[in-house]
Each structure stands twice: as structure tokens, then as C-alpha cells.
Structure 1
Amino acid sequence: MSSCTTPLPLDSLRPLVFPVYVPTVARGIGMGAAAPVMTLRAVELGASAAVAGLAVALVGLGQVLGDIPAGQLVARLGERGSTIACTVVGLAGVLLCLLAPTVPLLCAGLLVVGLSNAVWGLAQMTFMAESIAFGRRARAMSLFGGAMRLGFFAGPFLGALAILGLGTRGGFAVQLVTFALAGALMAALPLPGGTAPPVPAPISLIGVTRLHHRILCTLGAGSLLMGAARASREVILPLWAHQIGIGAATASLLFGIGAALELVFAYPAGHLMDRFGRLPVAVPSLAVLAVAYCAVPLTQTTAALGVVAVVMGIGNGIGNGVIMTIGADVAPAAIRAEFLAAWRLTHDGGAFAGPLLIGALASAAPLALAAVSIGGVAALGAAVMRHYLPRYVPWPPRPAPAETFEERVIR
């Protein structure tokens, strides 16, 4: 994949289908296939339940750590070069997970996969921010998020077939194949537009933070809070289901229903953002999540928890792609990759910290308090977004005024 200097046609996203969306579905399938077996494989290798849970968290930690150098790597190598590099690294990590004879080696493999995910996501996001015309940006980003969710949704089913023949390693085998397929598709297919030379001296994450600390501390705070609110539902729903006596299979079904609704809302969310701006999507998304989390302690039956799961799925679905879109809006063209790495770090850091916060609260207080606390986090995120996001983005966009987008956000 190479950097484009000219936007794709405003009225079509079809040029992105094979270079971006199909590889993203493939990579999502790999992540979804491996997700259910990470814990099981660690237990098979002799890990305790606590250590197995920590092993799974290493993927998220690797992604957070990978965000730190990812901007400089993408700026130096370009999107195509960094995609090839992170595919090779990701395949090495998956292969290590597949063949690991001990828990430490499995943990190392999971961490490497997380590092690869960070560079992959940034390369995709940077390319779309550079090549998609503004009037189609939100739809392009929302479809990208929807493609990853579609793959993650389908992955466990393909993984289950492989597990029948290979045991728990089957999930990693599927991940190995899909990672290789995704990397090959993105590296081999040319994309429209010219090729821009790599930036000769990329700026470090610290340098980007110094230059743009105001926007990273304002809108970035909203991104962090949204990341925490989104990721926490993967912990709250199963834990609360267990507490009120709902079986694991039923809890998984409820979660799957919510995940399916996220896919349904992917494109409509992007259309709303392109038509009315980012604010009418970002704030309701967090507000709906806040209400759903606060309603969790009120549920005592499968049906009631199912309603909450549906509401959470809708809340997360209508915000699909909003963080990537806002990041593309505010990223300065001269250091786009480096800035987007810092921007992704805010969201990924929140997504990593959210479940940890629930774990800490649940160990010291009732689980209901943890659910309400995350609801408060989501509500605070909605307030931050409402204050710092522009109220309206015209569609089709009018010529940009002298005042920059960042200046309007900070004002």
C-alpha cells in the first residue's frame, strides 16, 4: 500500500474494497478466531486462571506499547512498507503462540501480536485520512471499523472448525492464515493516486505531544474515556451474567446479539457523521453507553440483561468509526502519521485501562458499583466531546476558513 496524494472520488468507496476492507475482514477473522483460545491455551500450558487472564491482556498492552513507535515507523516507511513489516512481525507472533511450549513464550507471542496490531491499524488509518475526500471520510472510517467487527464476529466460528481438528491451537492456525492473507492483499494491490515520499525525519511521540498538547488533552481525553467505556462492556456483561446465574453459553449469545447490532449501525453511523457532523454521533453514543452501564445493576433476568446488551450494542454501533474520523479531521498534514499514533494511544490506552479499572473495583466493592462507575466514565466522555467538538460540519463541506479545525476545537 502506498501513500496517495490525491483523494479518491467523493462518490465512491469501491477502490477501498480489496486494498482495505477485505484485508481488514481477514485480519479481524484471525483476531476473532484466536480470542477464545488464548486463555484456554495458557491453562493447557499450566497457567493459573489469574495468569491466563493476564496473558490475554498482553495483546492490549502490546497495542498500547506499539502506538508509541508506530507513528515514526509509518512516517519513515510509508503505509505499504509498514504494513509489510507489521505483517511479518505479526506472523512471527502468531507462530510463536501456535508452537509455544511454555506460558512465557505464549505471552511473548501475544505481546508481539499486539505490537503488530498497532502498526497495522495506524497504517490503515493514515492512508484513509490522506486519500479519502472529506465528504466521505466518516463513511470510509465507519466501514473500516465495521469490517474489523465483521471479521471478529465470524472468526470464532471458523476457529471452532479448526479446533475440532487441531485442538486449541486451531484458533491460532486460522489467525496465521488470515494474517498472511491480509498482508498479501494489502501489499500486492496498487491503490489509486501518486506515491508520496516518506518523511525523512519523523517526529517522536513526545514531540507530537508538545506541539499538540492542547488538543490531545481535550478531545484526546474524550477519546480515552470512550475507549474505556467501549472495552469495559466485554468485562461487565459476562461478570454480571455469572453473578445473576446466567450460563456462559447464554451470556455469549447475548454478547453476540449486541455485536451483531454494531455491524448493522456501521454504515448509518458514518453517513450521519458526514451529513450532520461528528458531534451528533459521538455524544449520543457515549450517553447511550452510560445509561446501559447504569442499568446493569437493575437486571436480574436473562431478558433484562439481554435488553441492556442490545442497548450497549446500539450505543457502540452508532459511534463506530467516530474516533478514527475525528483523528483524521484534526491531524496536521505535515505530521499526520505521528499525530495519529498519539491520537490512537489515547483511545487504546483507555481501552486497556477500562477493564483493569473494573477488575480493581470489583475486587474491592460490589460489581454493581463497578458498572455504575463505568457509566460515569461514559457520561464524562459525552460531556467532554460535547464541549470540545464543533457543533456542525457542513455537508458537502464548504471551503475551509482561515481558522483551522484544531483552533475551532480548542476555542
Structure 2
Amino acid sequence: MAESTPTSLPAAEWTSRPQLAKLVEALGPGNARWVGGAVRDTLLGAPVHDIDAATPLKPVEVIDRLDAVGIRTIPTGIDHGTVTAIVEGGNVEITTLRHDVSTDGRRATVAFASDWKDDAARRDFTINALYADPHTLEVHDYFGGVADLAARRVRFIGDARQRIREDYLRILRYFRFQSRFGSQLDAEAEEACAELASSLKGLSRERVGWELQNLLALPDPSATVARMRELGVLQVILPEAGKHEVERLGQLVAAETAHGVAPDAMRRLAALLPAVPPVGESVAARLRLSRSQRERLACVAARDMRDGDNPRALAYAVGVPCAIDRLLMTGADPAPLTGWEPPMLPLKGGEIVASGVAAGPEVARILRSVERQWVDEGFPDRARVEAILAEYLSARPV
């Protein structure tokens, strides 16, 4: 396919940063183009967070040229051609043009290239293979990515099955990009993803878990997740998520929107799991999640339809984040927890001992009883806690 009709990036703050101009000048004429997400998102009018550049220069030469003008670099992926330039306003990843030598579905062996189209051809989707000249802002589009952006279509470059066989994680990336950018479903892409879904079993669990979290963190991934289940993809990476759990994800997203609660990947992952704490722990272990994430999934899995009876008591017991998750999951209003921090019980065991109770299990029992009543009464002040303690002490057998 020939390069499409020229278009240009619209005006954007990042394209006029002095440090980026200095970087481009150091690399030399024709040796740098912005690429990928920054170009794509600028064309869409979306915020740009990360800036990447491509260059025909080898990594060592990139480092030397930037060092000569005082721009510090980090060889973050130098074996694969990537150098990170430390510049004001946000670091820039600069990668030497590449083409694939061999792939096995998990990793690729690459060689440096000198042709921009060769570099574009090894990327996954047409909308990610857009390059922009840093001086003229002209967009170089080799595979129809600009038209696909306009149509909100996520399309693999070339043969979808071949692209997926090069890196099976592209199945999950397809659905993430479809959820974020797509409105038109691509039949070839869906057929390829369904056909090759079982290949996801061969990927590292960390990569699968990370990509799944990226998908679930999007504004509303529920329709995409439902489609993944229809195609048999979800069952491969998350067999615990049945039809009921997928429906619950949609309900959770609606509840988040209704109550103005920001999206959260772990909360949504919890929605896709049955309310059985050991299942949450097992999934967290399988996806190599952190200890805190594992504990959170188990906490949310312990939800109960009575959680909404006393939201602050729930938050005191399990923490505000888990309480909000459980309230949203059970259809309760999390508003009582907005800006609220659980207080500390204004009573210590030593004070009970000072009241005449011998140190030992009895002190702990009285402390728990006072705490329970304090929570039930809505966390009253110190004076009321002292009164509750006095009531318990006076009721003790002499």
C-alpha cells in the first residue's frame, strides 16, 4: 500500500516544546519522526502523555549526539534499539528503525533498518503506525491509519493472523484498543483473535495480567469484555468470569458513573470473579499480582448484600477502598465515604487496666465490646467512649 494523502498534526502544546526542538536538532536533519500514540492521540484531539520518536540512527550514535548538546540519556532498551532522553516536560523514548528477523508469538528477534516503512510494517495496528515530521508536522501514513482513525476502526497491519502469530499478546491489545478507539468492529481481526485465542496460554502471566488491567482501567470496557467472552477469548485468560460476572461488570461501570467514582482496574477485575475469597486469591496468584492487589480481590470477594446498611462501619472494618468497591458492587451508595477517614478508637487497653481490670484477656474483651458499640453508634467522641466503658465496667460481676 502506498503512503496515503498527506495530512498534518493539528497545533498541540507538546510539538512546540523547546527541549524537543533541541533534541531533534541534535539528531540531525531527517533523523527523527514522532511516532505512535502521541501522533495518534493528537490527531484525535486527545491528551498526549508519552512521546516516542523513531530514527534511522543507531542507539550509540543517538547517545553521542544527545550527549554533545547536554541531553542526558538512559539506555533503557539499547539491545532493542531504544534510548530514553531525559528532557523537560516528559522523557522521550527514541528507537532505531527496525524490522523483524524472527518471531515466536512471545518475543521477536529484530534487526536495525533504514526504511521508515519497514519500521511501520512491524507495528500492530494501522493507527499506531503513524509518523510525524517534527519540523513540518506532516503525518506519514503507510497503511491507512488516518482513515481508520476517522472511521474509529482498529485494524491490524497486513494479515491479522500473521500479526498475532508474531506476538500473541496482540489479541488482548486489539480488544484494549477496540474499547478505547473503536466503533466499527473489524471482522478479520475478530476472527483471528477467536481462532488463535488458545495461544494466550503460552504467554507469561505477568504480561497477560498487565494487559488485562490496562483494558479494565478504560472508561467503559464492559461491552468489549462481553465480546471477548462471546468469541471465547476471555475464557482462556479468566475462566472464572462467566456470563453473570460479565453482566456484573456492566452494572459496576454504570454504578461508578452514577456515583462519580473513577474507574479502577482491580475493582473491575473483582467484579469479574465470583464472591468467593479463595478464588480472588487464586486469580491474583495466577496473574502474578502484588500482595496488596491479592488482598483487595479477596476483600471484595467477601462482599455481602448487607454492606450498605452501615457504610462507615464497613470502611472501618475493611478500609475505605475495599468498602467503596463492595458498596458499588452490591448496589449501595458510597457517598457516606466521600472524604471520610476512619477514626481511631479514643481508648487504650492501659486505661481499662487503670480502671481496675487485671491485665489479660478480659481487657481485650472489654476493649472489643466498647469498640463495637462505638462503631454502631457512629464513632462518637471521647466523652461518649468513656461513658460506654463505664457502663461495661459497672455491669461486670463483682
Decide which structure has greater strand share: 2
Instruction: Return the TM-score normalized by structure 2.
Output: 0.25
Larger radius of gyration: 2
Instruction: Return the TM-score normalized by structure 1.
Output: 0.24
